[in-house]
Amino acid sequence: MGALAGALPSLLLGMLLMSAPETLGANPGLVVRITNKGLEYVAREGLVALQNKLHKITLPDFTGDVNIKHVGSGHYELYSLEVHSCELLGSALTPLPGQGLHFSISDSFIRVKGKWKVRKWKLKLQGSFDLKVEGITISVNLLLGSEPSGRPKVAVSSCSSHIRDVETHVSGDLGWLLNLFHSQIESKFQRMLESKICEKIEDSVPSDLQPYLQTLPVTTEIDDFMGIDYNLTEAPRATAQMLEVMLKGEIFSRDHRSPVAFLAPVMSLPEEHSRMVYFAISDYAFNTASLAYHEVGYLNFSITDDMVPPNSNLRLTTKSFRAFAPRLARKYPNMNLELQGAMVSAPSLNFSPGNVSSAPQMEVEAFVLLPNSIREPVFRLGVATNVSATLTFNTSKITGFLEPRKIQVELKESKVGVFSVEMLEALLNYYILNTLYPKVNDKLEKGFPLPLLKQIELYDPVLQIHKISVSGRHCCRFAQFCRIHYRRHVLLRLAASSCLCITRAVLRGRSLGLSLCHLFLLIPIEANCFCLLPLSIKANRWILTKLRDYVLKCLTQNKSY
């Protein structure tokens, strides 16, 4: 009963998580953090763009009737108005917690030129005027969200503008007449311009800013086989000191995209704000790449005798094996061999301070090429190696390089007796070092693109990888880039008596409100020994949703199960 009680929390947890795979998928594989320093740069660039917009603003003609003491009533008309000069100062772009961004401009001025007409009695007078608008203050709140397509969206939630002072200078015959009621004109012009500024901003956000945000790639091609998913997993998150954008960061096969059997870890970036932008990339992104290339057989290989160097001591013929595998030579005299290799599983990357490593394992099967074109398997080899990698970044891509190391070969199975694999190890080392590694490095050199808006490039990159212990046993990893942060977190903390390995979820019977969940429960028997128990659970979707919400709430409070 005690073992069952210990396993029950894991079982319930698996049911909850598997009942809503879309919720699990919300964990980002990549987080972009824009600090206040980065937002200051955006504000400066945005100010230039807005200033250019205001230069092109179209001001409407306006007319009015006024009463002038001792003179009587008159009718005026201001027309052909254009912004002659504009200088926007004191800009600021700051996070608006829980909403998006706050953009403000202060201590700015606009100079407007135009023409005037005044009709008094039977007199018609005209001339030009110069109007200076000082002390302009603009305040805009931008609401950030995400579209169903996974792209960011922005909308103006509020806008206000204020003008401290308007001065009019009139030229032309009898311009003094216009000066008699310039205060009324200035007041009306001030109200008109204040509303026009916000109107222009509210128009330019959907017409200019939103289309620019649409240039953030949702899916990007890496090569002919692969793409990377940069869908937003949630709306951008604004806090007091930064803006964070959460992206899926999953690499997938373009021909056939299949669900990833592991989860993106929960990431929590350190509180650093010295750089403009930080990219936090979890190993989820790299390991989905490894999985996708593995599934399409990118690292599978085949070696035949014509590929062996002419000066090699070993040929892929049965005759060449006579000295160390005589049974093979006797059973299949004077026949060619073919070696077919494949990864046992997708290699996973391991990160530690200053180092990226992997320990891929391969299997190589040897076939005799019979005269009737049939391949007959004769032995199977296990191949193991340790690989170290270097990650680098440029202005727009993540690239890498594998540092080759020798392989170790062992005989796993043989139909022609036990024999030494020393010669085969030398041959496979030659092939892997000279063919397979260069193939991978060519791919890594091309890299995969970072999610950047149009015309944005990164500079002064800094990359660091850290390994941090959590609770004495779990590891988190960081990388910095401008600075970029790389971190891997443990998703769950489970009771010592049980742990959960979720491999796949399939939802069926949606019309009946039921979920059929496939998972595996790992129950510890003793140290480093687990019992693998496959489970299929059918439950009401409402119950699963309620339980899931409870567990996720506990997870956010760092509770253990």
**Contacts with 9 (C-beta within 8 Å, 6 or more apart), sequence order:** 494, 495, 498, 561
What stretches of 401-519 show up as alpha helix (H) in DSSP? Answer: 422-431, 437-446
**What mean pLDDT, rounded, does the chain reach?**
77
In this prediction, residue 179 carries a pLDDT of 60
Tokens of 252: 């997938």
Quick: pLDDT tens for 479-496. Answer: 333 432 222 322 222 232
pLDDT band with cut points at 50, 70 and 90 for residue 425: very high
531 within 8 A of 522, measured Cβ to Cβ = yes
Look up residue 434 and give its two tokens: 């000279």
Give the per-residue pLDDT at 547: 57
pLDDT tens, residue by residue, 21-75: 333 346 898 999 999 999 998 888 878 877 887 777 778 887 887 666 656 677 8
Q: In the predicted model, is pLDDT for residue 353 greater than 80?
A: no
Q: Under 8 Å CB-to-CB from 186, ≥6 apart: which residues?
A: 131, 166, 167, 168
Once rounded to an integer, what is the mean pLDDT over residues 213-236?
92
Q: Mean pLDDT throughout 66-89?
A: 78
Q: Determine contact, residues 452/218, Cβ cutoff 8 Å.
A: no
- Asked whether the bond before 275 is cis by omega within 30 degrees of 0, the reply is no
SS3 156: strand
Quick one: pLDDT band at residue 7, thresholds 50, 70, 90?
very low
Q: What domains lie within the chain, and their CATH numbers? A: 2-27+491-556 (no CATH), 36-213 (3.15.10.10), 249-449 (3.15.20.10)
Which tokens go with 542?
């409402």
Q: Is 497 exposed, middle or buried (0-12, 13-18, 19+ CB in 10 A)?
A: middle
Amino acid identity of 82?
E
Examine the pLDDT at 4 and tell me if it is beyond 60: no
R_g (Cα) of the chain, nearest Å: 35
What pLDDT, on the 0 to 100 scale, is given for residue 337?
96
> Is 9 in contact with 222 (CB distance < 8 Å)?
no
Average pLDDT over every residue of 71-85: 81
- Name all contacts of 62-66 with Cβ < 8 Å and 24+ positions apart: 62/188, 62/189, 62/192, 64/184, 64/185, 64/188, 66/181, 66/184
Nearest to 109 by CA among 166, 35, 186, 178: 166
For residues 93 and 126, the answer to whether their CB atoms sit within 8 Å is no
Distance CA 508, CA 122 (A): 86
Residue type, 330: R
What pLDDT shows up at residue 483? 33
- Which comes out higher in pLDDT, residue 237 or 188? 237
User: Facing residues of 253 across strands?
Assistant: 226
CA angle 437, 258, 344 (to 5 degrees): 40
How far is residue 434 CA from its own chain's centroid? Answer: 34
| Burial (CB count <10 Å: 0-12, 13-18, 19+), residue 120 | middle
Q: What pLDDT score does 235 carry?
A: 93
At 392 the pLDDT is 85
Residues linked to residue 386 through DSSP beta bridges, in sequence order: none
Query: pLDDT per residue over 297-326, tens digit each?
Result: 999 999 999 999 888 889 999 999 999 999
Report for 165-169, 489-493, 555-559: range of highest mean pLDDT: 165-169
β-pair partners for 25: none
Contacts of residues 80-85 at CB distance under 8 Å and 24 or more positions apart, as own/partner, are: 80/114, 80/115, 81/112, 81/113, 81/114, 82/112, 82/113, 82/114, 83/54, 83/55, 83/56, 83/57, 83/59, 83/110, 83/111, 83/112, 84/111, 84/112, 84/113, 84/130, 85/110, 85/111
Is a pLDDT exceeding 70 seen at residue 537?
Answer: no
pLDDT tops 80 at residue 104:
yes
* Residue 552 clears pLDDT 60, i.e. is over it: no
Q: Which residue has the tokens 């998913």?
A: 229
What one-letter code names the amino acid at 318? T
The reported pLDDT for the residue numbered 391 is 87
Q: pLDDT tens across 392-423, in order? A: 888 888 899 998 888 999 999 999 999 999 99
* Strand pairing report for 152-171 and 219-221: unpaired
| 185 compared with 514, residue with greater pLDDT | 185
Residues 6 or more apart from 323 whose CB is under 8 A from it?
none
pLDDT at 513 over 60: no
Looking at mean pLDDT, say which of 130-139, 331-340, 513-522, 545-554 comes out highest.
Answer: 331-340
pLDDT at 114 over 50: yes
**Percent of the chain's residues with pLDDT above 90:** 36
Half-sphere exposure of 219 (CA within 13 A, CB side): 10
Show the 3-state SS of 260-318.
CCCCCCCCCCCCCCCCCEEEEECHHHHHHHHHHHHHCCCCCEEEEHHHCCCCCCCCCEC
> What gap in Å lies between CA 533 and CA 18, rounded to an integer?
16
Q: What is the pTM of this model?
A: 0.70
Q: How confident is the model at residue 511 (pLDDT cuts 50, 70, 90)?
A: very low
User: Residue 535: is its pLDDT beyond 50?
Assistant: no
* The predicted structure's pLDDT at residue 466: 54
The Cα–Cα gap between 388 and 63 comes to 76
The β-bridge partners of 112 are 83, 131
pLDDT of residue 329: 94
d(CA 368, CA 332): 8
pLDDT at 178 over 80: no
Do residues 223 and 446 make contact, with C-beta atoms less than 8 angstroms apart? yes
- The two counts, helices (H) then strands (E), for the chain are 11, 28
SS3 content of the chain, % helix, strand, coil (to 5): 25, 40, 35
pLDDT in tens, 225-262: 899 999 999 999 999 889 999 999 999 998 888 888 88
Peptide bond into 483 cis (omega under 30): yes
The order of strands in the sheet holding 277-281 is 237-238, 242-247, 30-35, 277-281
Residue 16 has pLDDT above 70, yes or no: no
Tell me how far apart the alpha carbons of residues 269 and 486 are, in angstroms, rounded to a whole number.
8
Distance of CA 550 to the CA centre of its chain: 28
Arithmetic mean of pLDDT, 128-157: 91
- Length of the chain in terms of residues written: 561
